[in-house]
Structure formats: structure tokens, C-alpha cells
Structure 1
Amino acid sequence: MTRTSTDRWSAEGGRDGDPLDEADLRLRQRRRFVAVVAVLAVVCGLFGVLTHLQGPKLTDVQVDASAVVERSGQQLRLFSNQALAHVDPDQVVVSPAAPFTVQTSGDVVSVQFTDRLRYDTDYRVSVSGVSSIYQRQTSDLEARFSTEQAVTWRIVHGRDGAEDSLEQADLKGGAERRTVWSAPRIQAYEVFDSAVAVLTDDGEQSTLSLVSLDGVAAETLPLPDGPGLVTQLGADRATTTLAFSWQPEGSEQETLYTLPLQGQRAVAPVTSIAGEPLTVLDWQFVPGLDSVVAQATDEQVTLFDLSGAAPPRPLGTFVALQGVSLDGRGIVAATALQAFRVDLSTGEQTPIPFSAVEGQTPFRGELVAVGATEYVQQVALPTDGGTSFSSLIVLDDEQEARVVFRPPSGSSEIEGFSVSPNGQFLAVETATATSPTDYTYTIDPTPAEVTTTVVDLASGAVVASFLGHAASW
């Protein structure tokens, strides 16, 4: 048999004839281990020095591209590989421009958007001159994201006895509309993240249903005991809370109720300052807050915190509650002589100096406060020496009133309008004067054939047009 090298090693005690004992082997292994650790330490130290000299690096970005167009006060968070020194607002640039505040905490820069952002828009947020708390070497951080495209909802009246439909479609390419729910006499609806609340009635009794967004599942929601009609419906999407005005059979008074969709789903009346169920003339949710502003039957306008954390806060007596601003910071309400902007945090009342429209003083109608001093309003101008009127939609910034919508023909009439939650789009409902209207509808009777035209408020460009009314986003 041929002897192997191992056999020779064993027999000879080593290559040089000098036997290696276990102590020698352990010593050599220990030296190799120390050498490897030393090399790794040098490499890691080198990387640490390079990182230290290069300044902070971006490691992650967090933003909810859907929430930033639905709610104000949303954040973009930029994560760094180092604890950061304070970042000033003048180090941050948002493009396209949008108001913001900035905070620094640990390794995170948080950019909070004051207002809702625009739909279907590419945003870039850059932070320059960022340094760590340990050294002055600076670097720039940049994040890019795209907001979601606008999705519109609408009610389409059925023809020749057919059921009404609730439809959904992308604002762009809206021809691909989808019927989510069909039922007789759809009065109103409110959209949530995973379902839509649909209100129907037979003229004597209302039914409130919660329908999945694919239209497959539906459940009936509770209403106050006894027969009656829901005469106004609203919702706060963030807290998944419904509110509605309830008119019992045989009564002319309407009581404001709430229905949280989380938990027990128990119907409860909103109570007045005196602790009694609140009877109302009008009310609206405050965007971004679990609160409603309501005008009671004595014309007192009050802010109600639905969470119960704060007591009701009176805001004044007005003949009309004209609306809550899109940013949730104020309301517009009017006395018999003057419209006021009312700050919800301070209660301060500021008269609104509305502008002339095409050199005339118009008759003023419904309005939406889209900014601190900006209002979208339907107005009527006298024509033909005052024997007739033309109806327009204007954007008034208290300096100038710019016409943003004019009916396409003299036979078309404006039936109503709404503004997208972020103030980007105006949806105007029009119909011909000869189109028949079913006035037995409890909420917002409209002509059988209504066309909704969507306009970009900034440019005035028409971006969509579709059959239906009560547009929502």
C-alpha cells in the first residue's frame, strides 16, 4: 500500500521532523483569528470614517400618497443613516410648491403638508445642507412621490322606471365607469375607504345601507326607532362616522344624529348645550376633526366635538350657515346684511368683502370656502335690463372674482356644484330648463338628465364631463 501524506505527517511528526503539539495549533489558530478580526475592524472603521466624512444618507421614505390628497396635515418622512442636526424650513423645497412645516427628530426629517396636495401629481421634496449632530459635513436628501389619480362618484337617475345607480370612475378616462349599487330612489351617499353608505327611501321611510366597494356585500344600518326620513347625510371619513338629520313621521323638526361605523354602531342624538337632542336647520362636518358645526332652529351656530373631549362652543347667531372651509379652520355664515368668515379656533368674525362680478353686484348663492380668503360661489347677474339673469360660478379671492364656469348654452341651467376636498376641481351640475324633475325625492331633487362638468380651478380647463349628479371624490 502506498503511504499518504497524512501517514507521513503522522510518522514523521511534521514536515521538518519537529512535532506540533496541541498548544502550537491553538496558538496559530488564535493568531489567525486575531488577524482576521483586526482586518475586519480596519475595514469597518474605514467605512465608518467614509460615512462620517460623506454626511447623512437617505435610507427610507414614508408617505401615504392617498391620504395627502384626502386630508390636510399629512407627513412625508425622510429617514437618514445618522442622527440629524436641526433642519430649518428654508432648507426644504417642495415642488410643485405647497405650504409645509418641518421637524427633525433623531434620524428623521418630517415634512408636514399644511394643505391637501393635488391629485395625479409628481412631487419632489429636497432638503439641502443636512448634517449629523456629530460633525458638520453636509449632504442633500431628496424624495419623490406621485399622488393618486382622482376617482369620482355620482348618482345617475334611472330612466323609464329603472332603478337609480351609484357609479364610480376615474376622473381621467371616466368613460370606464362602474356601477357599484343600484336601488330605487337613491337620495345620497358617503364614501369610506372600504365601503360606501347609501341612503334610499320610499317617500315615507328611509333605509341606510353599507355597501362594499365591489358592490357584492351590503348590510342595513340602524336608524332611530319609528318611521321617518333622513333629510341630510354627511360623514367624516377619517373617523368613519356618519351623521344625519332625522325627521320623524308627522313632525316638521329635524334632529341631528350620529352613527359611528366602528364598534357598536349605535345611533345617538347630538345634544345641545342644555343637554337636549339638537334640532337643526343645517349642519356640516369639519374636515380633519371629529366635529360638526350645526345651526339650531333658533339660528344659533355651534361647534360640537363628537368625541366629547370638549364642550359645545357657540359661534354666533346667523340666518344661514353657508359652509365649512376645506381646511377645517373656519366657517362662512351670514346675517341678514353681511357674510362673515368665522375662525373655529378663536371664534373671531371677519366680514367678507366679496368682489364685483364683471363690473356688477350679483345675487349671491351657494359657496364653498376653498382657502383662507378664497371662495367658489354661484352668482346670478341681471341681463336684458334686469328682466332675466345669467348664472355663473366664480372664484373670489376678496380682490377679484374670476369666472370659472359659464353654462355652455342659454338653455342650460346650473343645478348645483361641489369642490373636490383638496380644492383642485370644481364639479358643476347643469340641465336644460325643459328636463323634468321628480320633486318627490327627499334630498336634492334634480332633473332626470343632469350633466356634471369638472373644471380645474387653477386653469379653468374642462377635464371631464359625465351624466349624473352629487359628485364625490
Structure 2
Amino acid sequence: MCIKVQLKRLCLRRFTLVAAVCSAIIVILTIATANAGVRVRYADLNPSELTNANGRIVLHVSVPIKRVTPEQVSLAPAVSVLVTTSGNTIVITPNERLRYQTEYHVRVRDIAGQYGRHHSNIEYHFSTPPAKLYYLQRQYSGGESKANDQIIATTMQSNKTEVLFAAPRILEFVAVRDELVVNTYHDGVSQLQRVSLSNKRTQAVPIAKPQLAAKLQSLGDGRRVGYITGEHSDTKGGQLQLLDVANGSLRVIEGVGAVTDWRASPDGRLAAVITAKSDLLLIDTVGKKQPRPLGSASELGDFSSDGRMLSFLGSAGGFVAYNLERNERRAIFSDSTQANSYIVRLKLLGKNVRLMRSMSIADRKLGSEVTYNDGRSITRLYRPDGAHDITGLSASPNSQYTAVETAPQQNSSFDNYPVNGRNMSTRTILIDQNGTVMRTIDGCDVVWK
């Protein structure tokens, strides 16, 4: 019995000794690693999200670190950032969307590890991809079809194009995550289809009741789209319906009356609608809150990229920027240098940044131009010749590029589509922030990705 007890004690001593040695080794290695400095092991980021959405840069470092502040982090070209720290990770969130096809350098200085006394600087660099866009090229005019309409993919840095989808009458389309949702017209009603961006496979989107759909938009959450139903929804109004394209679930927005126009906020949680009675309402797209009245309006502009501001044309005339957080409205005046000018289209791109299409009257002739205002200076981006009009305006998610649709003033035909009708000679001019024309495409309805 005594021998067994002694053996047990001997084994326990050996175990305790081995455990102590292992613990000491771990501590020594930890301290040695800490003293060797902090290093970047790897990074998690999606460069496309950083240009088109609210992306993040996640740096995984070699040892647990103390809190890192925004003042310790620099991103070049210069962009302000938010920073959080947890264990071995540093999460960096840019306060604005990054530029396309640009190399960025991240530098974090004076990082202190949880163990050890050394402070380190780390660096990481990455490149963002070229701007990718999709546009609609129509080839149908009232009578017999000459060819199918096409949705075409291209980039700002290349003239190469690729046909993603073709059908006799394409009314509208939007991008939802890694696919397109397309609204086509057949036998008097709309047909929605999903088109994969990777392999071009198509899949019909189930709709409970076949009818004409207009003003198709993505809600920005990667799942839902919305549209207004009814044959004369632009004048008499119709039902606003929100559709989950993945599972086919449909929600009809009730209690707002006939809707003539709408816009979704960037995160898809809110929608602004104008009714046939010119009421402007803010809608909770999930349906948990009652509609919020914002006054009256005759035309919608857009939400700002951060979702805090909404622009619209008031019923009494003049564009207004509405601060949804402060419940304040501010009149917006034309940035055009031309006399007697007025705003036709207004896009709020961010804090104090806006894109504007203005009209002016000179020598009894109408003129139009597009201006970019970054809060510090105003740049005229584009002004067509006297034979063309500006008919459409959009901007890339990071505001780096602007798409300006133009059409001839005379001797042109229209496609007479029941929704989103276009001049058959419409072309789109792609311009950078300095007003340099990058390229011209034969099509309309540019969607950026």
C-alpha cells in the first residue's frame, strides 16, 4: 500500500514539474514574441465592398494588443477612419467609400502589445478593382423586333463588353448582391428574372399576381427589391410591393395610399414615397413603425450615401434637403453659373457633397449642365452641345464617376415602352470628378457594381 502511495506521489510530482516547465516555456515564448514586436499575420477585406459599400479592413496581428485609436491609423490616399481593437485584431472602417483602381497603404503606428514593453509600427497595402458597370441597350421600337434588348457588362478601364442577358423588351434592371433582377415585358405584364453575374444563368422570380411593375429598385440589403404595380402608376399611383428574391416572400406597403414614386435608403431599412395626393412619407420597410409624414412633394431626389438626408422637389417649387435625424429642411439652389438657372435633378452624395443637373434660359434657348459640388468648390462636369439634351443622371457609389444620359433634340424616335420609355438615340457619357470624359456608351440606365 505504501509503495502505491509513493508511486502516486512521484507521478504527481513529475506531472506538476512538467506542467510548470510547459507554463514557463509558454510565458517565455509569449514574452519573446511580444518583445519581437507586433506583425501583421494576414488581413480580411473585400476591395469591391470598400468602393461600393461600407466595407472594413481587418488586420490580424501576431500577439494580443492594447487599444488602437484612429489617430494611430493612417490610410493613404487620405481617408479618415474608425477603429476598434479586440485581442489580436484591428478593425478599420473608412468613413467614405474608396476610389476604384487605386493602391491604398494602411499604417498603424506605436502599437503596444498586452505583454512586453516594445511599441511597433505595422503596414499593409492593397488595391481596389476597376469600376464595373452594367447598362441597358435597347433595340426595339414599337413595331416588329429587330433584335433583343441587351444588358451589357463593362468596366471604366476597358472598352471590352459582355452581354449578360437578352430579351425582347427589357423595362428595367437592378443589381442585388451577385446577380441582377430584370423586369421584362410580355403580354401586358411584367416578368421578373434573376440573372447570375458569374455564369449568366437565369431564374424566374415568382410573383403572386401577374401585373405591370414600374420603378424597380434594390433595397440595398442584398435580398429585396421593390416596385410599384399598376398600368398608370406614374400618374394615378399604385401599390408599393417589396419582394424577397431569394424566397419569393412579398410584402405590400399598406396605409399609404396610391404611390407614384419611391426611393430606398442605402441600407434598405427606410423608403421615401410620394403618393398621388403629393404626400411625402417615410416608410419602415420591415413594417414595425407607422409611416412618418414629411410634408408634400412633387418629385423625389435621393437619399444621401449615409442615409441621413433626403432630397425632393417641394410642391411649391424648389429642391429641399431634409435632415431626417434633426427633422430640419434646407432649400437647395442651383450651382450653375448660368443666369436664370433652376435645378432639374439633385443627388446628395454625402455630407455637403452633391451632384446636380440644372437648366437655364439664355437668348430664349434652354441649356443644361451637370455640376459637382464637394462643399469646397463647384466643378462643371458636362454641358452638351446645342443639339442635345441631358435626359438622365447617375453616379457611382463612391462618387468617382458620373453617368450623363443625352439624346438629340430633333429627328429622334421613342421606343414607347410602357415603363421607363427612352429616346432610341440615347447615349451615356461617363465622366470623372474633374469633368474629363472617360468614354461614351450606346445605352442607358447605368448600374454600378
Give the TM interval when normalised to the shorter protein: 0.7 to 0.9
User: Which of residues 427, 430, 433 in structure 2 aligns to 1:454?
Assistant: 430
Q: 1:16-95 counterparts in 2 under 5 A?
A: 47-72=29-54, 74-95=55-76
- The answer to whether the 8 A contact 1:125-1:142 is kept is yes
Q: Computing the radius of gyration over CA atoms, which structure comes out larger, 1 or 2?
A: 1
For the residue of structure 1 that corresponds to 2:212, the secondary structure is: strand
Please say if residues 435 and 447 of structure 1, whose CA atoms lie closer than 8 Å, have aligned partners that are also in contact.
no
CA–CA distance in 2 between the matches of 1:427 and 1:46? 60
TM-score w.r.t. length of structure 1: 0.82
Is 2:236–2:276's contact at 8 Å kept on the other side of the alignment? Answer: no
**Going by fraction, where is strand more abundant, 1 or 2?**
2
Aligned ranges 1:356-371 → 2 under 5 Å = 357-358=336-337, 360-371=339-350
In structure 2, C-alpha distance between the alignment counterparts of 1:376 and 1:180, rounded to whole Å: 29
Q: In the TM superposition, what whole-angstrom CA distance separates every residue of 1:394-440 from its partner, at most 9, and x where no partner exists?
A: 11346654211122x33222221211112111011122233533252
Q: How does 1:285-434 map to 2 (within 5 A)?
A: 285-335=264-314, 336-355=316-335, 357-358=336-337, 360-383=339-362, 385=363, 387-397=364-374, 400-407=377-384, 409-434=385-410
User: Hey, what does 2:252 align to over in structure 1?
Assistant: 269
- Residue 465 of structure 1 corresponds to 440
Pair 48,85 (structure 1): closer, same or farther in 2 beyond 3 Å:
closer
1:65 CA displacement? 1.2
- Paired with 1:214 and 1:93, the residues of 2 have a C-alpha distance of 35
Secondary structure class of the residue paired with 1:318: strand
User: Aligned equivalents of 1:232 and 1:318: distance in 2?
Assistant: 18
Could you list the per-position Cα deviations for residues 129-167 of structure 1 after superposition, in whole angstroms to 9, with x for gaps in the alignment?
A: 010234442001222111221111111111672221111
Deviation at 1:83, TM superposition (A): 2.0
Mapped partners of 2:411, 2:203: distance in 1: 34
Spell out, residue by residue over 1:89-128, the C-alpha distance to the aligned partner (whole angstroms, 9 max, x if none). Answer: 1111111112321112222211112222111111111110
Provide the residue aligned with 1:166 in structure 2.
151
Whole-angstrom CA distance in 1 between matches of 2:306 and 2:327: 16
How far did residue 40 of structure 1 move? 9.4
- CA separation of 1:380/1:148 partners in 2, compared to 1, >3 Å: closer, same or farther? same
- Shift in alpha-carbon separation, 1:406–1:81, aligned structure 2, 3 A: same
TM-fit CA distance, 1:337:
4.2
CA distance in 1, matches of 2:62, 2:79: 27
Is 1:258 matched with 2:242?
yes
Taking a change above 3 Å as real, the CA distance of residues 67 and 400 of structure 1, as seen in their structure-2 partners, is closer
Offset, 1:216 = 4.7
What code does the residue aligned with 1:201 have? Y
Aligned counterpart in structure 2 of residue 212 of structure 1, from 183, 196, 199:
196
- Given that residues 333 and 341 in structure 1 are in contact (C-alpha distance below 8 angstroms), is that contact kept between their aligned partners in structure 2? yes
User: Residue 198 of structure 1: CA displacement?
Assistant: 1.1
The change in CA–CA distance for 1:83 and 1:201 in structure 2 (over 3 A counts) is same
**2: CA distance, partners of 1:45 / 1:269:** 61
- Residue equivalent to 2:99: 118
Shift of 1:354: 4.2
Q: In structure 1, list runs of 5 or more residues that go unmatched.
A: 1-35
Task: State how far apart, in whole Å, the 2-side matches of 1:215 and 1:39 are.
Answer: 57
Q: TM-score w.r.t. structure 2 length?
A: 0.87
> AA paired with 2:306?
D
In structure 2, relative to structure 1, the CA distance for the partners of 1:445 and 1:196 (3 Å cut) is same
Distance 1:143 1:364 in 2: 44
Distance in 1 (CA, whole Å) between partners of 2:302 and 2:410 is 30
The equivalent of 1:232 in structure 2 is 215
Coordinate RMSD, CA, aligned: 2.9
Q: Secondary structure at the match of 1:67?
A: helix
Counterpart code for 2:147:
A
Contact 1:239–1:290 at 8 Å: present in 2 too? no
2:163 is aligned with 1:186: no
Q: In structure 2, do the counterparts of structure 1 residues 294 and 89 end up closer, same or farther at CA, with 3 Å as the change threshold?
A: same
Return the offset for 1:290: 2.9
CA distance, structure 1, for counterparts of residue 44 and residue 218 of structure 2: 28
The alpha carbon displacement at 1:224 in A equals 5.0
Map of 2:4 onto structure 1: none
CA distance in 2, matches of 1:169, 1:76: 27
1:79 and 1:326, CA in 2 relative to 1: closer, same or farther beyond 3 A? same
Distance in structure 1 (CA, Å) of the matches to 2:20 and 2:342:
85
- Give the SS at the match of 2:407: strand
Question: 1:69 is paired with a residue of what secondary structure?
Answer: helix
How many matched pairs?
428
Residues 334 and 342 of structure 2 are in contact (CA less than 8 Å); yes or no, is this contact kept in structure 1? Answer: no
Match of 1:440 in 2: 416
Change (3 A) 1:157 1:353: closer
Taking only the aligned residue pairs, the percentage that are identical comes to: 23
Counterpart CA distance in 1 for 2:214 and 2:318 is 28
Deviation at 1:208, TM superposition (A): 1.5
Task: Call closer, same or farther: CA 1:436–1:104 in 2, change over 3 Å.
Answer: same
In the alignment, the residues of structure 2 paired with residue 38 and residue 287 of structure 1 have an alpha-carbon distance, to the nearest angstrom, of 56
Partner of 2:82: 101
> What secondary structure does 2:50 align onto?
helix
